């Protein structure tokens, strides 16, 4: 029996990771090469000649004398943890298909839970920020979904204490899933869906949705829309028009329930973004570590106080 090439592909082994990123010096050299692939350029004036201070880990421009560090202006700015721990955290997060909790990550890294939680939230923010820069195209299956809420009482749409989010899966011409985007929304209203579609779906894309009225708003955002009234029930889940979006929803929800004890509403977008980021790059697990490192460099600094603000949506 033939094996799934994506599922059984080669990933970066822990031995390969240690050989490449095992020391602090190796991590600094790799980060320097990612940030300045053509050599150092001053972030203030753009000059390409510099000197490295001996007393502090800073680079000084020879022209304007502006001083900057290797992590200034990146997601790593202000960290008191060694880069090798950040690299190891990124490795563990990207290579674990079903996710890894902050508690489990804390035990692997050997640092406090609070420090690990902040680290993981920042890394997930980089994943979400990067994915949000690339709108979906091709054929997109669209559905409404909810996270959390009480176990008893009303279920589904209108249930109390539920966090609504849009689930979208983009297919190629062979109708194979390529990318997905799970985005938390304030509610399933036309204005909300129109804004979401304009940001996350390329104009001219064919969007397939069920009969939920708010999804008609994608037409206003210059997308083609195929509306299929499913009628609800278990049979509607098995319709071929929505097979992939329902499969991804099931997989992500099962993984999140199995990995995380609880997820606060205001942090939900990052957890959804984590699974989308890894799914969208599943074709090259070995490269994902380096890719996420590069994305962390291009993500602005995120002080701990920003992690506790109101919910971050699409």
Q: Between these two residues, 240 and 32, which has the higher pLDDT value?
A: 32
Q: Between these two residues, 53 and 230, which has the higher pLDDT value?
A: 53
User: Of the residues 266, 287, 309, which one is the last residue of a structural domain?
Assistant: 266
Domain that holds residue 43: 17-70
**Could you read off the pLDDT of 119-149 as tens digits, one per residue?**
999 999 999 999 999 999 999 999 999 998 6
Joined tokens for residue 44: 């203030």
User: What is residue 146's three-state secondary structure?
Assistant: strand
Average pLDDT, the chain: 89
On whether residue 217 sits in a domain, the answer given is yes
Hey, how many other C-beta atoms are within 10 angstroms of the C-beta on 41? 15
Mean pLDDT value of segment 56-67: 90
pLDDT bin (cut points 50, 70, 90) of residue 55 is confident
Mean pLDDT value of segment 207-214: 93
Q: How confident is the model at residue 157, as a pLDDT? A: 57
pLDDT bin (cut points 50, 70, 90) of residue 308 is confident
Q: How confident is the model at residue 3, as a pLDDT? A: 72
Q: How confident is the model at residue 167, as a pLDDT? A: 97
The whole-model pTM stands at 0.90
Instruction: Answer for the pair 90, 291: CB distance below 8 angstroms, yes or no.
Output: no
On whether residue 48 sits in a domain, the answer given is yes
On whether residue 307 sits in a domain, the answer given is no
User: Of the residues 49, 70, 91, which one is the last residue of a structural domain?
Assistant: 70
What does the DSSP assignment read for 156-192?
STT-TT-EEEEEEEEE-TT--EEEEEEEE-S-S-HHH
User: Of the residues 227, 245, 266, which one is the last residue of a structural domain?
Assistant: 266
Instruction: Answer for the pair 274, 99: CB distance below 8 angstroms, yes or no.
Output: yes
On whether residue 123 sits in a domain, the answer given is no
* Residue 36 and residue 152 in one domain: no
Mean pLDDT value of segment 260-285: 93
Token look-up 């991590």 returns 27
Q: How confident is the model at residue 232, as a pLDDT? A: 63
Q: How confident is the model at residue 106, as a pLDDT? A: 97
pLDDT bin (cut points 50, 70, 90) of residue 310 is low
On whether residue 240 sits in a domain, the answer given is yes
113-152 CB burial, b ≥16 within 10 A, e <16? eebbbbbbbbbbbbbbbbbbeebbbebbbbbbbbbeeeee
* Residue 33 and residue 152 in one domain: no
SS3 content of the chain, % helix, strand, coil (to 5): 45, 15, 45
Closest-CA residue to 206 (of 189, 226, 191): 226
On whether residue 97 sits in a domain, the answer given is no
Alpha-carbon span 99 to 97, nearest angstrom = 6
On whether residue 52 sits in a domain, the answer given is yes
Strands (E), the chain: 50-52, 59-61, 67-68, 139-147, 163-171, 177-184, 206-209, 224-227
Q: What is the CATH number of the domain that holds 230?
A: 3.30.420
Mean pLDDT value of segment 187-215: 94
Mean pLDDT value of segment 251-273: 93
* Residue 57 and residue 175 in one domain: no
211-222 CB burial, b ≥16 within 10 A, e <16? ebebbebbeebe
Q: Which residues contact 159 (CB under 8 A, 6 or more apart)?
A: 146, 149, 150, 153
Lowest mean pLDDT among 104-108, 112-116, 281-285: 281-285
On whether residue 12 sits in a domain, the answer given is no
Instruction: Answer for the pair 34, 28: CB distance below 8 angstroms, yes or no.
Output: no
Lowest mean pLDDT among 62-76, 177-191, 300-314: 300-314
pLDDT bin (cut points 50, 70, 90) of residue 241 is confident
Hey, how many other C-beta atoms are within 10 angstroms of the C-beta on 85? 19
Give how many domains the chain has, as a whole number: 2
The bridge status of strand 163-171 relative to strand 50-52 is unpaired
Alpha-carbon span 205 to 136, nearest angstrom = 8
Residue 225 scores a pLDDT above 90:
yes
């Amino acid at each position: 029996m033939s094996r799934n090439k994506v599922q059984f592909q080669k990933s970066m082994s822990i031995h390969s990771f240690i050989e490449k990123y095992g020391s602090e010096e190796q991590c600094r050299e790799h980060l320097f090469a990612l940030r300045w692939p053509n050599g150092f350029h001053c972030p203030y004036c753009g000059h390409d000649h510099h000197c490295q201070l001996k007393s502090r880990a800073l680079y000084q421009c020879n022209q304007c004398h502006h001083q900057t560090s290797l992590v200034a202006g990146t997601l790593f700015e202000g960290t008191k943890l060694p880069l090798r721990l950040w690299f190891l955290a990124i490795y563990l997060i990207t290579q674990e298909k079903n996710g890894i909790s902050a508690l489990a990550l804390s035990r692997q890294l050997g640092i406090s839970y609070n420090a690990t939680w902040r680290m993981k939230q920042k890394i997930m923010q980089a994943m979400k920020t990067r994915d949000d820069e690339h709108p979906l195209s091709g054929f997109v299956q669209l559905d409404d979904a909810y996270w959390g809420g009480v176990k008893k009482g009303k279920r589904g749409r209108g249930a109390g204490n539920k966090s609504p989010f849009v689930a979208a899966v983009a297919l190629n011409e062979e109708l194979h899933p390529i990318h997905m985007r799970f985005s938390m929304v304030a509610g399933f209203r036309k204005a909300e869906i129109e804004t979401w579609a304009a940001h996350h779906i390329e104009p001219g894309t064919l969007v397939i949705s069920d009969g939920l009225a708010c999804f008609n708003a994608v037409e206003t955002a210059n997308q083609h829309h195929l509306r299929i009234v499913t009628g609800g029930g278990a049979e509607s889940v098995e319709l071929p028009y929505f097979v992939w979006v329902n499969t991804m929803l099931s997989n992500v929800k099962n993984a999140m329930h199995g990995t995380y004890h609880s997820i606060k509403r205001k942090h939900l977008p990052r957890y959804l973004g984590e699974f989308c980021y890894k799914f969208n790059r599943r074709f090259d697990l070995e490269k994902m570590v380096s890719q996420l490192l590069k994305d962390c460099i291009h993500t602005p600094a995120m002080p701990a106080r920003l992690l506790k603000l109101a919910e971050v949506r699409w």
